[in-house]
Structure 1
Amino acid sequence: MTGAALIVAVGVVGAVDGIFTDGPTWVPIAFAGICVLAVLFALRVRVVATEPELLVHNPLSTHRIAWADIDGFNCDRFLVVRLKNGTRLSCVGVPQSGVTRLFGRLGGDNKIADALEHRRLAATGGVPPTA
């Protein structure tokens, strides 16, 4: 997040002080605007578990999924929701860390997937999996 704020600051300073003097004056302003939009999209992504449904907020879409429609969860590059109709929905808000991918170990994304699986089973009247 700090990197994005730095990029926005450079774009604004460039617009004000004329750092980008080689091109038209709208270029740094457009650059700053694109950076602000990127930050807003990054703040939007999340996964919210409510009583009746799972809400998946990705950068360009929002999905409301009833617990009864969910078949399970996987952890690929992101948390993946497997639906009973065969659809797989990636949750950009829960990425797998590079360290866990590198060493092939379980990370926070797996813990979140397990917690969501228990929540799904409790909501649908299923039995939680045994360890």
Structure 2
Amino acid sequence: MTIWIATLCGGVGGSIRGILALYRGITTWLQQRRTVLGSPLGRPRLADAADWTAELVGMAAQIVIGGLVGFFLTNAGTVTGVAGAILAGVSAPAILAQLGEVRLTQNLVAGATDDQVPPVADLRDDGVDNGVRHGE
């Protein structure tokens, strides 16, 4: 699979959240219309059923980050198929949130250099952490 197809599939996956949100707004509108059918108040408008502008902006953002995650994961060799790229796009916000919690990422964003980053503890089964025996 080429990188461009993976990016496209990631974007398609990212659009799924937005499509589901649009569907939820439409079903809410249909339920509102059914409950007031025959009422003198009149039928509710589709524009009042959801915040459509926010939903569309959210869907556009998710398509972009879904495409980026699909691109990066395929480029890294983590994702190799179409279904994987689509699922990467669906889960892009969770993947990016998890990546933001990684200490290395936080240090890179903060601009720390390699000599400023403290070493990660290497705790082995023998109780040794970076050459220091624990419990002594």
Normalised by the length of structure 2, the TM-score is: 0.27
Higher helix share: 2
Which is higher, the Rg of structure 1 or of structure 2? 2
Bigger RCO of structures 1 and 2 (CA < 8 A, at least 6 apart): 2
TM-score between the two structures when normalised by the length of structure 1: 0.28
